[in-house]
Amino acid sequence: MAQLATSGTTVTLRVHRFSPKPARERDRARGGSPFARKSSPFGDAASRPVRRPRGRQWTQDYTLDVRGDETILDCLLTVKRTIDPTLMFRYSCGHGMCGSDAAAVNGTPTLLCKAKITDWAQQPPSVDDEGFRRTGDGDAPRMQTGEDGTQPGGLGIIELAPLPGFPVERDLIADIDTMLEQIKRLKPYLIADGTLATTEDGGVDVLPFLQTPEQLAKYEVLTTCITCGACEGACPVYAGGEAFVGPAALINQARFVNDSRDEATYERLEAIDTADGIQACQSVRACSRECPVGIDVGEEIWQLIAQVKEREA
């Protein structure tokens, strides 16, 4: 167990690590020919089978001294700079704007930069001498120990793993290409009639594009989606995107379907009314619980289902 010895309370990050097999080794295992690849090099990412990366997996504990107001991303940066430069994770803005650092924290899809360690650190469950978890029956079982046999102190342990539902690239970095391809495939841009109204002096006349506050309210919250993938990670149907286009792509479409300026509503509803589109949604609504920008993802998808049905009527 790697440890940073400084003063203050401590937290232990228990990180699920993954190191992929080098590409050459993988190719040799398939006979050394690019034609031996299992997936077509010509298909788009959304139609390719989910890649199951091969490599070495292990769990590593990092115990470090912390202040109570630090985030998990702060701690990972400390680990990277002072303990283990090989630890891999992704981030960019550091304050909930870019969506690049979603990972599973104690199993829950969460942005690392918004997750306060005091909210997530937990003491490990007690186990008895046979290794079974105990639920506090007064037998005073001992606490679960770390890799080196010591009991965690301080704030406790935070378990970190890559975002569920996506193939892992390395350590905490998930490959979210399938989600981005699915969003791209459904035309994530405003489709107007292509004619710009002009003013008498030849400028662009913006008046036809003005909206009332009510029209804006129909989709404004949906524009705040940061494509973090937390909703996809929480969705039990998504699981890689083969059977279901996923909540993030549907939220992106809802944003345009509800925009009075978009003129492709019918085509958009047609495009998502497929077996792997909105029909695959089981309305579990786990997606709503994890959205870091507060979109009620399940409810928005439910509204989209109603619009798809209205179009059929």
Q: Using CB under 6 A as the criterion, which residues of the chain lie in contact with ligand FES when the complex forms?
A: 91-94, 96-101, 111, 113
Beta strands in the chain (DSSP E): 2-3, 9-20, 55-66, 102-105, 108-111, 156-162, 168-170, 173-174
37, two tokens: 């690849």
Q: Does 253 bind ligand SF4 (CB under 6 A)?
A: no
Give the one residue of 1, 191, 264, 293 binding ligand SF4; rule: CB under 6 A.
Answer: 293
Name the minimum Å distance from CB 96 to ligand FES.
5
Name the minimum Å distance from CB 75 to ligand SF4.
22
**Which single residue is written with the structure tokens 């549907």?**
250
Name the minimum Å distance from CB 13 to ligand SF4.
23
Is residue 228 exposed (0-12), middle (13-18) or buried (19+ Cβ within 10 Å)?
buried
Give the one residue of 248, 272, 278, 286 binding ligand SF4; rule: CB under 6 A.
Answer: 248
Find the part of the chain contacting ligand SF4 (CB under 6 A) among 10-18, 90-98, 193-201, 229-237: 229-237
Name the minimum Å distance from CB 99 to ligand FES.
5
Q: Which does 248 bind (CB under 5 to 8 A by kind): ligand FES, ligand SF4, none?
A: ligand SF4
Beta strand pairing call for 2-3 and 55-66:
parallel
- Tell me whether residue 174 or residue 269 sits nearer to ligand FES (CB atom): 174
Give the one residue of 176, 225, 249, 272 binding ligand SF4; rule: CB under 6 A.
Answer: 225
Rounded Cα distance, 304 and 245, in Å = 14
Q: Which does 92 bind (CB under 5 to 8 A by kind): ligand FES, ligand SF4, none?
A: ligand FES
Give the one residue of 11, 168, 230, 286 binding ligand SF4; rule: CB under 6 A.
Answer: 230
Residues 6+ apart with CB under 8 A from 147: 1, 59, 60, 61
Residues 6+ apart with CB under 8 A from 65: 4, 5, 6, 7, 8, 9, 10
Render the burial of 161-175: b for 16+ CB within 10 Å, e for the rest.
bbbbbbbbbbbbbbb
Q: Does 113 bind ligand SF4 (CB under 6 A)?
A: no
Name the minimum Å distance from CB 129 to ligand FES.
42
Q: Does 103 bind ligand SF4 (CB under 6 A)?
A: no
Give the one residue of 297, 301, 304, 308 binding ligand SF4; rule: CB under 6 A.
Answer: 297
Give the one residue of 105, 228, 257, 308 binding ligand SF4; rule: CB under 6 A.
Answer: 228
Rounded Cα distance, 232 and 249, in Å = 9
Q: Which does 302 bind (CB under 5 to 8 A by kind): ligand SF4, ligand FES, none?
A: none
Closest CA to 245 of 182, 288, 307, 185: 182
Beta strand pairing call for 9-20 and 156-162:
parallel
- Tell me whether residue 99 or residue 298 sits nearer to ligand FES (CB atom): 99
Instruction: Please say whether the beta carbons of 158 and 112 come within 8 A.
Output: no
Q: Which residues bind ligand SF4 (CB under 6 A)?
A: 99, 225-231, 247-248, 251, 290-293, 295, 297
